[in-house]
């Protein structure tokens, strides 16, 4: 692997990641069910960039060179989204684990890169 420095903004901030196929399944259920509420958060796993990078480093057995561009959290905040109300109401559970999907996708990209 290349030893280029990866510049990241606030590795410890959280975002909610959802696979596009899971989102599509939720969207279809939302369109076909009569719902009690009007506003829902459609979300997946709440992950920090640090957690994703750590997972990749473990899988690749290689330490990444990272520069954390720490921006004040007033400027860039974390977003953890609760999903229980929506998922219970439409009886949905995500099929894709984002960390495992990231590893699978990375493995495929590395294999293609080495050809």
Residue 24 has pLDDT above 90, yes or no: yes
Q: Which residue range forms the structural domain that includes residue 62? A: 6-114
- Using a 10 angstrom Cβ sphere, with 0-12 exposed, 13-18 middle and 19 or more buried, the burial of residue 103 is middle
**pLDDT over threshold 60, residue 10:** yes
In this prediction, residues 65-83 reach a mean pLDDT of 72
Angle at Cα 59 formed by Cα 21 and Cα 111, nearest 5°?
75
Write down the pLDDT at residue 65.
Answer: 83
Share of the chain above pLDDT 90, in %: 12
Residue bearing tokens 């007033």 = 74
Residue 2 is predicted with a pLDDT of 56
pTM of the model: 0.72
Q: Which of 92, 105, 108 is nearest to 44 (CA)?
A: 92
CATH (domain of 66): 3.90.25.10
**1 has pLDDT over 60:** no
pLDDT on residue 20: 94
pLDDT score of 79 more than 70: yes
Q: Which residues of 16-29 are buried (b: 16+ CB within 10 A; e: fewer)?
A: bbbbeebeebbeeb
Average pLDDT, the chain: 81
Q: Is residue 1 part of a domain?
A: no
Number of folded domains in the chain?
Answer: 1
């Amino acid at each position: 692997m290349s030893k280029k420095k990866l510049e990241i903004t606030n590795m410890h901030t959280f975002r909610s990641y959802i696979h596009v196929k899971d989102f599509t399944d939720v969207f279809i259920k939302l369109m076909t069910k009569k719902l009690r509420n009007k506003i829902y958060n459609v979300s997946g796993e709440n992950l920090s960039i640090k957690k994703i990078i750590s997972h990749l480093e473990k899988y690749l057995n290689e330490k990444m060179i990272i520069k954390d561009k720490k921006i004040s959290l007033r400027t860039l905040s974390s977003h953890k989204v609760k999903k229980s109300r929506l998922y219970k109401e439409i009886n949905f559970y995500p099929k894709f684990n984002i960390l495992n999907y990231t590893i699978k996708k990375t493995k495929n990209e590395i294999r293609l890169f080495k050809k």
